[in-house]
Amino acid sequence: MKRRTLQYSRFLALLLVFALMVGVVSAQGDRKVLVDAGNAVGASDVPTLDPSLATDTSSIQVLIETNPGLTRINEVTLETEPSMATWTVSDDGLVYTFSIMPEVPWVKYNAETDAVEQVLDENGNVRYVTAEDFAYGIRRSIGGQLGSYYGGIMASWVVNGDAVYAGELPVEELGVEVLDTYTLQITASKPAAFLSTIFGMWQAYAQPAWVIEEYGDFWYEPESFQGYGPFTLKEWIHGESITIIKNPFWPGTENIPVPALDEVKMMVLEASAALANFEAGAADVSIVPLSDIDRIQADPVLSEAYYVGPGSCTYIYGINTAKPPLDDARVRQALSMSINRQALIDNVTKGGQQPAFFFARPSLAAAPHQEDYPEYVLGEDVEVARELLQSYLDERGITLDQMEPITLAHNESEGHARIAQAIQQMWTEALGITVEIQTQEWAVYLETIKSDDAPQVFRYGWCLDYPDAHNFLFDVFDSQVRELGINWNNEDAAEFDSLVEQAMVEPDMQTRTDLYAQAENLLTNKDAAIIPIYYYTSLNLTQPWVQRTHSQFGQEYFEKWDIDLSARP
């Protein structure tokens, strides 16, 4: 999860995001729409459409529409709801039995006839999505030796998953069983409240075995791609756009209705170019460039189209607690307390983000809200920060000038650079310390911050994979899975581990929330091993003739959108 979420948050911070720039394609009254797969600097294309290998938001955005999972997250309530299947759970919370919707055909776009066609098998019968297809997808992700990142994440939750992933057991030993054509049973290795969400993630989507066997590694190109969801892949101009087209054979369900839109085209555009298109009326939905937010808010037309809603990520500075002077909690607290988060949001990041003192986003299940636990919130107080730093200096008997220099690292990006420069200045003004900013290219940066030798302070972001506090507190900071080089190893860290592990299996919601609040207290307040900065928001511009939902987790469900053709110029 780390990988995708980090990339993802980087995009969000840049606001060059994979968000939606829906452009009108046709003037003929078709409900056609273009969606921007607008990747940020560097990656300028959707990296893959292989569900087993997808790790980034743009790939998942396409797949979520072409190959819906067994379950899926409601984009507004963040609750897990039936998608391709309904399910039952055994009393011990370990055996999940999924009843898959019958007779949903596999489909394929035929470029010659410009139509979506049902896929036939070798006997000329329509191929329906079966439990076998889902089992194939899961087995391929976990046991296919593809190096599937999310296959590895899922492996720890399925019986024998880790061993199969490592190649120590044959894939048949995996706890996934096809009971009949439309019934799939997954046996979990341990119970958890959010398992139904994990089994609905993209690495567990149904995959067409016959296509993958015939076409090999690049089976997901439009010439061979097959899907079954409300949309299917129509066209993919690498580095430029990707188009999905309505699947007329999609039966429509309560959660996934028959789409009103005929087509959605996602364009790879930089934020400023996307805005220019939007202002020219050439796009229906656009991402929002940071530099233009003030103008958008002041403009009578654009401000109507401007939407700010909750995002799915948290922006933090991680701290390598082994490196002096940050090996002392007082210095870490001083740094955290001397950041003026609201000023940073108002003047630098703009998009209405929320100041964060806890790591887990409040929208997650079981996540404590910082206003409910004021005694656990470190807060901001420059005076106290100065006293803390001074007491640390006095204890060591040194002056500020003799203190070790502090390095603040971030991956190369305009947005992170601005935030880092602003915080650098805040620390200099409040505490008189000098901070050197260091930037690294993304891949190297990831290695750097995961090594024991991580920089003293380093920028990090985390976005939800499934809406539970576990995904934030356990998946990132529990020492069993922790990859970040924060080197947080004292007795408080041990207590943190026991708290989040307890919360993982605790059935009562309020008790879980309390446990997570105590864990947050250790992580962000008492020990201040990280400095939470803000909770992301999701921003977009939507033309008035688009009726849509606003997703809180990064992907949109276009089948719930519509365009008012009479209002469109």
Partner 1 sequence: MSVTDIASLSEARPKGDSLWMDGLKRLARNRMAVLGVVIIIFFILVAVFADQLAPKSYEAQVLADNNAAPQWVIDMFPVMTSKADGGYVTVSNDYILGADDLGRDILSRIIYGTRISLAVAFVGPILALIIGLVMGLIAGYFGGIVDNIIMRVVDIFYAFPTLLIIILMMAYFRGSFNESSSQGTFGYALYMADRSMGGMLFIFIGIALTSWVGLARLTRGEALSARQREYVIAARSIGSKERGIMFRHVLPNILGPLIVAETLTIPTYIRYEAFLSFIGLGVNRPTPSWGSMISDGSRAIASYPHQAIFPAIALFLIMFAFNFLGDGLRDALDPRMRGVE
Contact residues: partner 1, CB under 8 A = 272, 275-276, 279, 289-292, 294-295, 297-299, 343-344, 346-348, 407, 412, 414, 417-418, 421-422, 425, 437, 440-441, 444, 448, 451, 453, 455
Q: In terms of DSSP bridges, do strands 435-440 and 406-411 run parallel, antiparallel, or are they unpaired?
A: parallel
CB 555 within 8 A of CB 60: yes
Give the integer Cα–Cα distance in Å for 244 and 49.
12
Minimum distance, C-beta of residue 292 to partner 1, in the bound complex (Å): 5
* CA–CA gap between residue 485 and residue 447 (Å, rounded): 9
Q: Which is nearer to partner 1, 418 or 526 (CB)?
A: 418
Q: Of 169 and 276, which has the nearer Cβ to partner 1?
A: 276
Query: Hey, which bits of 448-529 come out as E strands?
Result: 457-463
DSSP single-letter state for residue 104: P
DSSP per position, 273-311:
HHHHHHHTTS-SEE---GGGHHHHHHSHHHHHHEEEEEE
State the minimum distance, in angstroms, from the CB of residue 243 to partner 1: 27
Q: What phi, psi does 73 have (nearest 5°)?
A: -90, 130
Residue 7 beta carbon to partner 1: minimum distance, rounded to whole angstroms: 17
Q: How far is the CB of 394 from partner 1 (least distance, A)?
A: 28
Give 63 or 285: the residue with its C-beta nearer to partner 1: 285
**How far apart are CB 15 and partner 1 at their closest, in Å?**
10
In Å, what is the CA distance from 524 to each residue of 333, 350, 488, 552?
Answer: 9, 24, 12, 24
Handedness of CA 498, 501, 505, 508 (dihedral sign): positive
Q: Which is nearer to partner 1, 394 or 453 (CB)?
A: 453
Q: Give the DSSP H or E segment for 80.
A: strand 80-82
* Residue (68 or 289) nearer to partner 1, CB: 289
Contact 314, 531 (CB under 8 A): no
C-alpha atoms less than 13 angstroms from C-alpha of 525 in its C-beta half-sphere: 17
Measured from the CB atom, is 296 or 366 closer to partner 1? 296
Work out the widest C-alpha separation in the chain, in whole angstroms. Answer: 84
User: Angle of helix 2-14 relative to helix 442-450, nearest 10 degrees?
Assistant: 130
Q: To the nearest whole angstrom, how small is the minimum distance from the Cβ of residue 339 to partner 1?
A: 12
CB of 11 to partner 1, least distance (A): 15
Residue (343 or 509) nearer to partner 1, CB: 343
Least gap, CB of 38 to partner 1 (angstroms): 14
> Of 313, 331, 334, which is closest to residue 322 (Cα–Cα)?
331
Closer by beta carbon to partner 1, 124 or else 300: 300
209 vs 437, which CB is nearer to partner 1? 437
CB of 448 to partner 1, least distance (A): 5
Q: How far is the CB of 485 from partner 1 (least distance, A)?
A: 10
**Which amino acid belongs to residue 136?**
Y
For residue 208, what are the CA distances in angstroms to 186, 212, 223, 225, 245?
Answer: 19, 6, 14, 9, 19
In the DSSP assignment, the letter for residue 212 is H
Pick 10 or 31: Cβ nearer partner 1:
10
Burial 214-227 (b: 16+ CB within 10 A, else e): eeeeebbebebbbb
C-beta of 451: minimal distance to partner 1 in Å? Answer: 7
Q: Which residues contact 547 (CB under 8 A, 6 or more apart)?
A: 561, 562, 563, 564
Going by C-alpha positions, the residue among 258, 111, 100 that lies closest to residue 179 is: 100
